Every structure is written in structure tokens, then in C-alpha cells.
Amino acid sequence: MKKVHLNQFENSLYKPANKLKIFIWYFTNMFLFKTMLPIPSSTKVKVLKVFGATVGSGVVIKPNVNIKYPWFLTIGDDCWIGEDVWIDNLAQVSIGNNVCLSQGAYLLTGSHDYKKETFDLMLGKIVLEDGVWIGAKSVVCPNVTCKSHSVLAVGSIATSDLDAYGIYQGNPALFKRKREIK
């Protein structure tokens, strides 16, 4: 049987930006976003835009948020991004209007091909449509779309698309019931 050889992993084709931009963002992220200091959301939004993110109005970004590459990020209007959220966007992440990412949510756009001995990098975008709620400590995996007003319950893992107005729970997240907004 073949085995994995991590020493053969080669990632030179993936170039998310020039090295200087990545270097500057790393320290900006560390000091303005991945901090418990109460930096105003308006300041964070302006900085994200400088680095190429598209960000709407009324966005709230709490302390200790980690964003991998803002130039692969789109956030709509009136979104909430809670403490300890990690947007690990090696690929595009699109967040619609009125989306809530609760504390510790993790948006994961990269993985590895476990079938190859070289453990190749695999990327997949994430789309969170309008009104989506990603519960605390939940994970959204690559190539997942959470459709309009769907809910991913606390501690759940979305490995496939969530239907509109569906409430999903578990690992992998399974449909539990319809979301009714009053």
C-alpha cells in the first residue's frame, strides 16, 4: 500500500498575493483583529477595505477575529462577526446581508487530498446567503453554500449545502426542522 509523504507536499502554485502584502496583512490582522482590545468596528471595516475586502454598512466585528486574506472576502450589510471567529479564507468567502457568525465559528476554505501521497491542497469557496446564522463553535467546510436564512446550530459541522430556512445540527449537520421567523 502507498503511504503519505508530507515531505513531497508542494504548494508553489498557490499564490494568494505578493509576499509583502501577505506580510503586512499578517501584522495588521494580529494587532487590529486578533486582539481583545476594543478596536471600533468602523476602523476594522476601513482596514479590510484597504486590503481589498468588499464590506457593507452596519457591520459589527467583535474582538479576537482572525481573517486569513481580506482580498478574498465579501461581507454584506448589517452582519455580526462574533469573538473568536476564524475566517480561514484561502479561497473566496461571500457573506450576505444580516448574517450572524457567532462566537468561535470557523469558515474553512482549504483542505488536503488524502488520496494523494503528496497531500495536495484543495480549495473551495463558501457562500453564506442573506439571513444565515452560523452558531457558536460551528464549522462551515469548503464548497458549502448556506442558503437564505438557514441556521447551523451550535457546535455543528456543515459539510454540504444547507437549504433555505432549514435548521441543521450535528456532525455532519443534518436537517432538523424549518426556521419560522415571526
* Average pLDDT across the chain, whole number: 97
User: So what's the pLDDT on residue 66?
Assistant: 98
User: So what's the pLDDT on residue 86?
Assistant: 98
**85-120: per-residue pLDDT in tens?**
999 999 999 999 999 999 999 999 999 999 999 999
Pairing of strands 174-178, 166-169: antiparallel
User: So what's the pLDDT on residue 109?
Assistant: 98
What are residue 42's phi and psi, to 5 degrees? -60, -35
Confidence class for position 56, pLDDT limits 50, 70, 90: very high
**121-169: per-residue pLDDT in tens?**
999 999 999 999 999 999 999 999 999 999 999 999 999 999 999 999 9
Confidence class for position 70, pLDDT limits 50, 70, 90: very high
Confidence class for position 57, pLDDT limits 50, 70, 90: very high
Give me the mean pLDDT over the 26-47 stretch. Answer: 97
Q: Which of 31, 26, 34 is nearest to 51 (CA)?
A: 26
Query: Over pLDDT 90: what percentage of the chain?
Result: 97
Say if CB 79 and CB 99 are below 8 A apart.
yes
**19-32: per-residue pLDDT in tens?**
999 999 999 999 99
Domain boundaries, the chain: 18-177
Cα–Cα distance, 114 to 119 (Å, whole number): 6
User: So what's the pLDDT on residue 161?
Assistant: 98
Cα–Cα distance, 161 to 155 (Å, whole number): 17
Lowest mean pLDDT among 5-9, 41-45, 105-109, 136-140: 5-9
Domain 18-177 has CATH 3.40.50.1970: no
Cα–Cα distance, 27 to 41 (Å, whole number): 18
